[in-house]
Structure 1
């Protein structure tokens, strides 16, 4: 059975929603592997200048960089309201997306989602054109009511099963063996690591596209050879 990976960030666990999500995914042929970052943990807190205990943004992002940057996730979801004056889910995801792209985290192609038990009030916060523009630039994949997490995340997890992208398929495989060195086939990438090649493909540059085309040609040639088809 295929596995879908979820990273979710909250100040408390949501076992009812996660349990229901697992059941829905299993009915579609998938297991769920979830990783939880508990912002209720004192590890992520600091005393500010006013003597109040608040979330420490740098500690949270350093933890993610040290422990999760080299992992793949299909979805990264965060609660919006951590009941903290120093950080909310929108701000957390905005920096996380920026860091994942600029520092090449393996989960940079994950879908990023916000959820909230009080969605209507959160929507009111984004009540100006500039704030709406910020949301658009961030490219959040979904904003979900907490009670709807099982249904809506199931749909988000399985949406890619209805389409196919060679690029999105090959990059995780190359990253899985990222330290291996490329020795032949495409001279422009000779001696590059597979992780470096995955990065080139992800940028959609000329050589990344050319390599994908060449791999398709090699695959078809191999199929012809395996099946003893007559060569033209």
Structure 2
């Protein structure tokens, strides 16, 4: 089964992606990889006055990758922006329901320096307590699989994707995206799903965690009922 990843970096990762796909195939791991350049001056449509514009980033991501399911999102820590780094971008995208259920990888050429510099910023008054806590909460809640060095991140992506089972959330997202115009028969207890296309259901469960859980529960119940033989 192919695994799909996306790399978010301010530099072009075309050559790194070619090597990643090639090395993975040698190890029996088949990877499709996209890149999303954020903070790059050669893709300045995502910038305002030379700085990353989150609204533009969100809009462009949804335009370019809407309906795609990724098994891993790899973020570069340093995006060459004074306010938005990989951790903050991760937090902002998650807030906008992007990569909410996707495992994440954070990489940096100077990983220890990046971690310690944020503590120094807080001590020096350049980072408020609230901002520091937001970053810590992001790291705790983001389902980050690993923090790795930039020099080895390709092999780390292969390692993670090669040893990670798909979650039910990602399986459902992937299957709904394959047949967006299909409609389930109207057998759901929750009427929010009756008469809806797969695409409409995907949008509903993306926006509402409670309905996502209801959908998974009903789907599993119906599958069990369908596969159960009468005694």
TM-score by length of 2: 0.74
In 2, the alpha carbon distance for the partners of 1:94 and 1:81 equals 15
Report the equivalent of 2:84: 87
> Does the C-alpha gap of structure 1 residues 201 and 74 become closer, same or farther in structure 2, counting only changes over 3 Å?
farther
Taking the TM superposition and a 5 Å limit, the aligned residue runs for 1:1-232 are 2-15=1-14, 17-38=16-37, 39-41=40-42, 42-47=44-49, 53-100=50-97, 107-127=99-119, 130=133, 131-161=135-165, 168-186=170-188, 188=190, 189-197=193-201, 199=205, 203-205=212-214, 208-219=216-227, 232=231
In 2, the alpha carbon distance for the partners of 1:33 and 1:87 equals 27
Offset of residue 81 of structure 1: 0.8
In 2, the alpha carbon distance for the partners of 1:168 and 1:83 equals 31
In 2, the alpha carbon distance for the partners of 1:137 and 1:23 equals 32
Offset of residue 195 of structure 1: 4.0
Structure 2 gaps, min length 5: 123-131
Aligned-residue CA RMSD (Å): 3.0
How many positions carry a matched residue from both structures?
Answer: 209
In 1, the alpha carbon distance for the partners of 2:180 and 2:210 equals 13
Residue 78 of structure 1 aligns to a residue whose secondary structure is strand
Offset of residue 168 of structure 1: 4.4
In 1, the alpha carbon distance for the partners of 2:179 and 2:30 equals 23
In 2, the alpha carbon distance for the partners of 1:196 and 1:158 equals 32
Q: Which has the larger radius of gyration?
A: 1
TM-score by length of 1: 0.74
Residue 63 of structure 2 aligns to a residue whose secondary structure is helix
Structure 1 gaps, min length 5: 48-52, 222-230
Report the equivalent of 2:128: none
> Does the C-alpha gap of structure 1 residues 57 and 152 become closer, same or farther in structure 2, counting only changes over 3 Å?
same
Offset of residue 61 of structure 1: 2.1
Provide, for residues 136-188 of structure 1, a one-character-per-residue CA deviation record: whole Å limited to 9, x for no partner.
23443322211121221112212334xx6556434421332233222245464
> Does the C-alpha gap of structure 1 residues 9 and 88 become closer, same or farther in structure 2, counting only changes over 3 Å?
same
